[in-house]
Amino acid sequence: MSLKRFLIGEPLETAREKQERLNKVMGLAVFSSDALSSVAYGPEEIFFALVLGGTALLSYSIPVAIAIVVLVLIVASSYYQTIHAYPSGGGAYVVAKDNLGTRPGVVAGAALLIDYVLTVAVSICSGIAAITSAFPGLYRHRVLLCVIAIVLLTLVNLRGVRESGKLFSIPVYIFIASMFLLVGLGLVKIFSGQAPGPAAAAQQSSLVQIFPLFILLRAFASGCATLTGIEAISNGVTAFRPPESRNAGITLIYMALILAALALGITFVSYHFGALPAKNETMLSQIARMIFSVGPIYYVIQFSTAFILILAVNTSFAGFPRLSSIMASDGFLPRQLANLGDRLVFSNGILILGAIASLLVIIFRGNTHALIPLYAVGVFLGFTLSQAGMVRRWFSLKGAGWRRNALINGIGACSTLVVLIVITFEKFTRGAWMVVFAIPVLVWMSLRVKRHYLSVSRQLVIQPDYHETEFKHHSVIVPVSGVQMAVINAIKYAKALSNDVAAVYISLNPAEEAQMRADWEKYGMGVPLKILESPYRSITRPLLDYVDQVREKYPDGIITVLLPEFVPSKWWQHLLHNQTAFIIRGFLHFKPGVVIISVPLHLQK
């Protein structure tokens, strides 16, 4: 208890739940970390795919990057419309559920939940890679570092850091500025002929001659990781100052432009500086080293990269618990996920996210590149369902300019659907199959959970005759194992409940039984003692059989089993007593129509 308080702080009052409203500058800082941080691994993934076909193919990195930038702009325009249509926040789950129905909504929700988990895993691995690029000695401790980072972020989020625009905006803008400085200085060096030039086009894999398009598709599919996080603003429209939709929309446009510029710029500079994917140094670190050499600016770039990636993780730590609480309120996930914890955060969701992400990082040995194939499937499934939902919405509302709006969202939906198909086929064998398997399982479980909750609420509906059914007979059974003060107290309580009280004694041993009879004669207060034989020394079976006999005798009656208990004063003393009352209670819990009473006697020492 006090450890919990030390780690996450004192409980907060419900009344303190309110949100600070953000202007555009802060809004960009708060919501763009997930999207912008993608430039730390997105462009590198393009090179990783191309280099498999030989360095000769690397020049295709630029057209591939252009295709991705076009996709960024299409998706951003599409989400711009969502922001205006859903000023109260339009996550893929809400949009798909509203417009396409329950099942597509749950599919989008499942895809998004998986996406959040993967965002944490990928961003942590990539952030720690920025650090280990600067300090190569730490490389072999990367899994441990990742897990420590996740544990710290889990604790921070359990304490409940409100998205603090002021605090977070500085490092985000340092990151943006340093990236533009990197790209700008890189371009200057390239056009003034100071760049080392592209990597020598030495070898070309035979794969290329057979499947050139295949390699390009793979590069495109891999680079699509750059788009992750672009939907963040549409989830958080309410956090902006009024007019919320307008401010959020403008922020989205800025973010998309910065993302497009950086993704293209970094790819271009990386190509012309001859950077290549390496196991223990990121390409971003390589070009930063070549442009600034290892000095203060280099370290600023590495640390701000790590920091923005960790902020991206934080976005998931806000998003996953929020989405799972919405889905839990709708009955698709266990109800506990909808509980606001004592620090005003959805603690259960935070803990589950931290645990699964840690597991992923450990299984994938902290390798960003190995996690990426799992990543984009959920993201693009969410994109597609969300845009398709928007199209459907325009068709049913038919407001002003609905054809144009439907067209924009339609293009978004179609292009993300194509990308989804490409990614799924392309990356299926390298990990995407896990997500393709996990999403339907999660959807099936969610629907099953919903069905259970519906069935429970139907069974708990108040019957019209609820105040009529009075119970005819009340039988009270008191299991006793000897005569002492706890039993005396229990019997006195039982006599106040009903006239039909029976003490029940399980006989294990004739000598003890005789003693018990004699004692009961003296102290039994007129309550009959029923002695049950137990040839197999079981306490529960004869008792349960006796309950059944009483039930047969009074089919309309109610049966109460009253357990005399004593409660030791110290925890270890519990180990010294047969947990008979506890076990009996466990068995009776599953017996319909039996009320269980504990009459405890508290011991002093």
Binders in 498-537 for a copy of itself, by CB under 8 A: 508-509, 523, 525, 534-537
Q: List beta partners, residue 529.
A: 503
* Omega before residue 104 within 30° of 0, cis: no
Task: Give the per-residue contact string, 311-350, with a copy of itself (x = CB under 8 A; - = no).
Answer: -----------------------xxx--xxxx--------
Question: How many angstroms separate the CA atoms of 544 and 529, rounded?
Answer: 17
Q: Which is closer to a copy of itself, CB of 433 or CB of 566?
A: 566
Q: Which is closer to a copy of itself, CB of 233 or CB of 563?
A: 563
Question: How many angstroms separate the CA atoms of 349 and 113, rounded?
Answer: 10
Q: Which is closer to a copy of itself, CB of 204 or CB of 573?
A: 573
Task: Give the per-residue contact string, 203-242, with a copy of itself (x = CB under 8 A; - = no).
Answer: ----------------------------------------
Evaluate whether 308 touches 34 at the Cβ level (below 8 Å): no
The one among 194, 329, 515, 573 contacting a copy of itself by CB under 8 A: 573
Kindly state whether residue 604 participates in binding a copy of itself, applying the rule CB under 8 A. yes
Kindly state whether residue 287 participates in binding a copy of itself, applying the rule CB under 8 A. no
Smallest gap, in angstroms, from Cβ of residue 441 to a copy of itself?
Answer: 14
Kindly state whether residue 159 participates in binding a copy of itself, applying the rule CB under 8 A. no
Strands 594-602 and 474-480 come out as unpaired
Q: Which is closer to a copy of itself, CB of 24 or CB of 541?
A: 541
Residues with Cβ < 8 Å from 393, sequence gap 6 or more?
85, 95, 98, 99
Q: How far is CA 139 from the centre of its chain?
A: 28
Evaluate whether 36 touches 176 at the Cβ level (below 8 Å): yes
The one among 70, 188, 407, 567 contacting a copy of itself by CB under 8 A: 567
The one among 280, 363, 538, 553 contacting a copy of itself by CB under 8 A: 538
Distances (CA, A) of 605 to 66, 263, 279, 517, 576: 77, 70, 63, 30, 14
The one among 280, 492, 545, 548 contacting a copy of itself by CB under 8 A: 492
| Ranges within 44-63 binding a copy of itself (CB under 8 A) | none
| # of chain residues touching a copy of itself (CB under 8 A) | 72
Question: How many angstroms separate the CA atoms of 62 and 65, rounded?
Answer: 5
| Per-residue tokens: 491 | 């019997």
The one among 200, 202, 293, 590 contacting a copy of itself by CB under 8 A: 590
Residue type, 292: F
Question: How many angstroms separate the CA atoms of 501 and 354, rounded?
Answer: 53
| Per-residue tokens: 260 | 């497009």
Q: From the CA atom positions of the chain, what is the Rg in Å?
A: 33
Kindly state whether residue 554 participates in binding a copy of itself, applying the rule CB under 8 A. no
The one among 68, 208, 486, 504 contacting a copy of itself by CB under 8 A: 486
Residue type, 388: A
Task: Give the per-residue contact string, 79-118, with a copy of itself (x = CB under 8 A; - = no).
Answer: ----------------------------------------
Question: How many angstroms separate the CA atoms of 414 and 402, rounded?
Answer: 18
Q: How many residues does the chain have?
A: 605
Q: Which is closer to a copy of itself, CB of 6 or CB of 571?
A: 571
Using alpha carbons, select from 526, 525, 543 the residue that is nearest to residue 534. Answer: 543
Distances (CA, A) of 83 to 79, 90, 92, 230: 6, 7, 12, 12
Three-state DSSP class for residue 594: strand
| Ranges within 426-485 binding a copy of itself (CB under 8 A) | 449, 452-453, 455-457, 459-463, 466-467, 470-471, 474, 483-485
Smallest gap, in angstroms, from Cβ of residue 344 to a copy of itself?
Answer: 8
The one among 362, 414, 417, 558 contacting a copy of itself by CB under 8 A: 558
Kindly state whether residue 602 participates in binding a copy of itself, applying the rule CB under 8 A. yes
Smallest gap, in angstroms, from Cβ of residue 421 to a copy of itself?
Answer: 35
Three-state DSSP class for residue 507: strand
Angle of helix 402-427 relative to helix 61-85, nearest 10 degrees?
A: 130
Kindly state whether residue 488 participates in binding a copy of itself, applying the rule CB under 8 A. yes
Kindly state whether residue 576 participates in binding a copy of itself, applying the rule CB under 8 A. yes
Q: Which is closer to a copy of itself, CB of 207 or CB of 340?
A: 340
Using alpha carbons, select from 404, 386, 383 the residue that is nearest to residue 395. Answer: 404
Neighbour count for residue 217 (Cβ, 10 Å): 17
| Ranges within 6-35 binding a copy of itself (CB under 8 A) | 11-15
Smallest gap, in angstroms, from Cβ of residue 297 to a copy of itself?
Answer: 48
Q: Which is closer to a copy of itself, CB of 530 or CB of 591?
A: 591
